[in-house]
Amino acid sequence: MRTTILILTLIAMVTSGLNLNAQSKKALIVYYSWGGNTREIAEQIKSITGAEILEIVPANAYPGDYDECVDQAKKEINSDFRPAIKTKINNLKDYDVIYVGSPNWWSTIAPPVATFLSENDLSGKTVVPFITHGGGGKAKCFTDMQKLCSGATITEGLAIRDSRSKSSKAEVENWLKEINMIK
């Protein structure tokens, strides 16, 4: 009888250990947001998954004026400029899953996100991309992100229209289920 209980306990321990999936992995949400829409989605992912969250903060803030910001972003993107960022992660090795969020800027990711991806080696990790946009959709955002994450496994990304960012929690939740980040 004792032996049977011992064997059953061992089987239970082994199978629960084998059941490690995305839901039990340690996750970090990293995002840049100029106007708040991408932050909104990042916060929704945090509230659904319980993942930790970290904002990418440029060393020099972008202009508060929209047109000035659009002009500066155009110049930076055209010259592949990587602005300095204040955000540093010392314990990247502790995370298996990194959510990476950006606004769509000129059909690609915002330069501070490109800086983050080039400064941090995400190889071996699962990268979960999400963007917000003003009507242009994902454009080149996910493919450009992928180019900067060599060696990482990239999941299907989520693109949310800016005007819907506050009311997209159900869509965010569905996407997280589809890509097996939550049950």
Ligand X SMILES: Cc1cc2nc3c(=O)[nH]c(=O)nc-3n(C[C@H](O)[C@H](O)[C@H](O)COP(=O)(O)O)c2cc1C
- The yes or no reply on residue 106 touching ligand X (CB under 6 A) is yes
Q: Which of residues 58-77 bind ligand X (CB under 6 A)?
A: 69-70, 73
Residue ranges of E strands in the chain: 27-31, 52-55, 97-105, 108-109, 126-133, 153-154, 158-161
**Residues between 22 and 41 that touch ligand X (CB under 6 A):** 33-39
Shortest separation between residue 136's beta carbon and ligand X, angstroms: 3
Residue 55 binding ligand X, by CB under 6 A = no
CA dihedral 18, 23, 24, 29 (to 10 degrees): 140
How far apart, in whole angstroms, are the C-alpha atoms of residue 51 and residue 28? Answer: 6
Site mask for ligand X (CB under 6 A), range 135-164, x = bound:
xx-------------------------x--
From the list 51-59, 79-87, 89-97, 103-111, the region that binds ligand X by CB under 6 A is 103-111
Q: Which is nearer to ligand X, 38 or 126 (CB)?
A: 38
Structure tokens at 61: 């803030």
Residue 68 Cβ vs ligand X, minimum distance, rounded to whole Å = 9
Instruction: Tell me if 117 sits within 8 A of 143, measured CB to CB.
Output: no
Which candidate, 102, 92, 93, 80, places its Cα nearest to that of 157? Answer: 102
Q: Euclidean distance between the first and final Cα of the chain, in Å? A: 36
Q: How many residues bind ligand X (CB under 6 A)?
A: 21
Compare residues 112 and 181 and give the one whose CB is closer to ligand X: 112
The answer to whether 103 contacts ligand X (rule: CB under 6 A) is yes
- List 23, 87, 107, 146, residue binding ligand X (CB under 6 A): 107
Q: Residues 57-90, buried b or exposed e (16+ Cβ, 10 A)?
A: ebeeebeeeeeebeebbeebbeeeeeeebebeee
For ligand X, the binding residues (CB under 6 A) are 33-39, 69-70, 73, 103-107, 132-136, 162
